[in-house]
Structure formats: structure tokens, C-alpha cells
Amino acid sequence: MAETHTALPAHQFDDLEQQHEAGALGMWAFLITEIMFFGGLFTVYTVYRWSYGQGFAEASRHLDIRLGAINTAVLIGSSLTMALAVHAAQTGRRRVLILFLLFTILLGSVFLGIKAFEYNHKFHEHLVPGPGFRLAGPEARHAELFFSLYFAMTGLHAVHMIIGVGILATLVMMANRGRFSPAHHAPVEITGLYWHFVDIVWIFLFPLLYLIGGR
Amino acid sequence: MAARAVPRRLYLAIFGALMGFTALTVWAAFIDLGRLNMAVAMTIAAAKAALVVLYFMHVRYSSRLIWVVVGAGFVWLIILISLTMSDYRTREAPVTPAWRAAIQDKLKL
């Protein structure tokens, strides 16, 4: 690891601007693989939603819109605190940076807590696909398919959140040791990109899963 | 994305807009628009995603290279979904007697 406090770029870069851009570009290349990763699930969703719209709408009515909307607000709030953390890193305010990173971790944990509560509720209602799935009506099979996608998509999203919280905790420790400066804070910026990406996935999951019941 | 920091007031404004869009999409879901419900929900979600990408992810202030790479990512997603659906939605295309006759006529040539 190079000296973190010098305002010099690593030797393979012309200047700091180029180094910053290379970092962001690398992260975006990763995020595009993530878009395709989640994209596969969104495609499966589109195919079956189109074929079994009735069953999907019925199944969606078993989800709690209030909890989904609260979680959307929580996650958007965490994106704001993340953006403010990056801002603090850019302007070299260490205490503010640590504070906003901790806020982001807190909001991320609230999101995961609400998600766990919802999952638990689905187990009690026998809405988890598999031998225990119980739902009356002619659309039960299609509703089960909806719940398979619900758990796969929100589960994969939650795994990304858990990884994100872990990375944020690492950033807090790094910031605490004074590893970031206005010239060198690429880890904060890049984690910000990741966190906002996870937020975008949820921005699409919320209407597709919770809001299709036409209540 | 260099040290050019975006003013914090802008972040707050974007946050406000995202919350407003969330309320709007929940409100719109309770109105029966038929097939349009899906279009409305996805339009709002796309607008929210655009705000996050442009401002929170700083793409608005990034180089053309980043713009092209990010744009390509989303274009590829659209290709993935639209080409898949163009297959699924045409598998059950009705073959009318006239159509069948026309095909058989062609094959005889």
C-alpha cells in the first residue's frame, strides 16, 4: 500500500484524476456484471409475470405494502447518508465521515431487520415455496412461483446488503485509523457506488413485488 | 469524480425527490389503470434509478467514458429482457387457416 497521505498518484497513473477515474471505471465494470446477475432474475420475473399475471397479483396481496414502503424509505435514507459520507471524505472531515458511515450501517441493519421480520411472517403463513407451501385457490401454483422469485430476488438483495454492511464496518475502522484524505478516499467512493447500486435494485424490486396486487 | 464535491443541499433535494416518487408509486398502485399500472410503476422506478445514478453515483459529473460504460450496462439489460420476451410472446402466435395455406403454398414451390 502506497503512502496514503501524499497527494501523489500510484506510479502507473499520470495524475490523481486519472487514478480516480480508473477506480470508478473498475467499480462500474463490476456493477455491470451485477446488473446482468440481477437482470437474469428480472427476466425470469418478466416471463412468468406475463404468463401468470393473475397468480402473481394474488400472491403479491400477501406482502405488506407498509413494510415494503418503510424499507424503501429506509434504504433511500441510507443512500443519502452514504452520499454524505463520501462528501465528508472528499472534504477531509473524519469525524463526520465516521458518523455518516455508522448511520448508513444503522439504516442498512434496520432494513435487514424488517426483511427478517417479513421472512419470518411468511414462514408462519406457509407462504415459503416447497412442501410446506399452503394457499387455497386455482392460482396456488403460480403464487408459489411468485414466492420463489420473491425469496430469490429479495434474498440475493439481502446478501448484497449484508456484504455492504461488512464493507462499511471495515471503512469505519480504516477511517478511524486516519487512512482517508481528500486526495485518497477511493475505498469510500467505490463503496458508495456499490451501496447506491443495491439501493437501485430495491427501487425496482419494491413496485414489482409489493405493488402489483391492485388493491 | 475527482475532489469536486457535490453540494450537500443537492443530495438533500435528490433524497426529497426519491421519497416523493416512492409516495407517488404507492399511491398510483391503488388506482386501477389496467395494463398501464405496470408502465407507470416502471417509469417512476426508472426515474428514481436515474436520479441515484446521476447524482448519488456522480455519473452526471463523470467523464464520457463512464457515461458510455454505464449506458452500455443498462442497454444490455434492456436487450436481455426485450429479446427474451420477443421469443416468449411470439411462441403462441395464432396460425390462421389462410396463413397455413400460404405457407403450404410456398413450400410446394
- Integer CA distances (angstroms), A24 to A83, B32, B59, B60, in order: 15, 42, 10, 13
Q: What ipTM goes with this model?
A: 0.92
- CA A116 to the chain's CA centroid: 15
> Rounded distance, CA B88 to CA A75, Å?
34
- Does any CB of chain B come closer than 8 Å to the CB of residue A211? yes
Tell me whether residues A214 and B2 touch, CB distance under 8 A: no
* Domains of chain A, each with CATH number or no CATH: 18-210 (1.20.120.80)
Tell me whether residues B57 and A193 touch, CB distance under 8 A: yes
Element (H, E) at B105: helix B97-108
Average of per-residue pLDDT values in chain B:
90
Tell me whether residues B18 and A76 touch, CB distance under 8 A: yes
Contact A161, A112 (CB under 8 A): yes
Contact A196, A79 (CB under 8 A): yes
A81 Cβ contact list (under 8 Å, min separation 6):
A100, A103, A104, A107
Gyration radius (Cα) of chain B, Å: 22
> Rounded distance, CA A199 to CA B41, Å?
16
Gyration radius (Cα) of chain A, Å: 20
Q: What is the pLDDT of residues A73-95, one digit of tens each?
A: 999 999 999 999 999 999 999 99
> Rounded distance, CA A70 to CA A75, Å?
9
> Nearest residue of B to residue A7 by CA position?
B3
Residue A62 in this model has a pLDDT that exceeds 60? yes
For chain B positions 17-56, those within 8 Å of chain A (CB to CB) are 18-19, 22, 25-26, 29-30, 32, 37-38, 41-42, 44-45, 48-49, 52-53, 55-56
Domain map of chain B by residue range? 1-62, 64-93
> Rounded distance, CA A12 to CA A18, Å?
10
**Residue A193 with chain B: CB contacts under 8 Å:** 57
- To probe the interface with A, which of B9, B57, B65 has the most A CB atoms within 10 Å? B57
Nearest to A25 among B3, B30, B66 (CB): B66
Predicted pLDDT at A6: 59
Mean pLDDT of B9-22: 97
Question: How many interchain CB pairs under 8 A, A with B?
Answer: 138
**Residue A52 with chain B: CB contacts under 8 Å:** none
Predicted pLDDT at B3: 46
Residue A5 in this model has a pLDDT that exceeds 90? no
> Rounded distance, CA B106 to CA A55, Å?
42
Neighbours of B16 (CB within 10 A): 12
Average of per-residue pLDDT values in chain A:
94
Predicted pLDDT at B108: 76
- Does any CB of chain B come closer than 8 Å to the CB of residue A39? yes
Contact A204, B81 (CB under 8 A): no
Tell me whether residues A21 and B18 touch, CB distance under 8 A: no
A160 Cβ contact list (under 8 Å, min separation 6):
A198, A201
**Residue A205 with chain B: CB contacts under 8 Å:** none
Neighbours of A5 (CB within 10 A): 12
Select from B43, B57, B48, B53 the least CA-distant residue to B17.
Answer: B48
Predicted pLDDT at B80: 97
pTM of the model: 0.91
For chain A positions 81-120, those within 8 Å of chain B (CB to CB) are 82-84, 87, 90-91
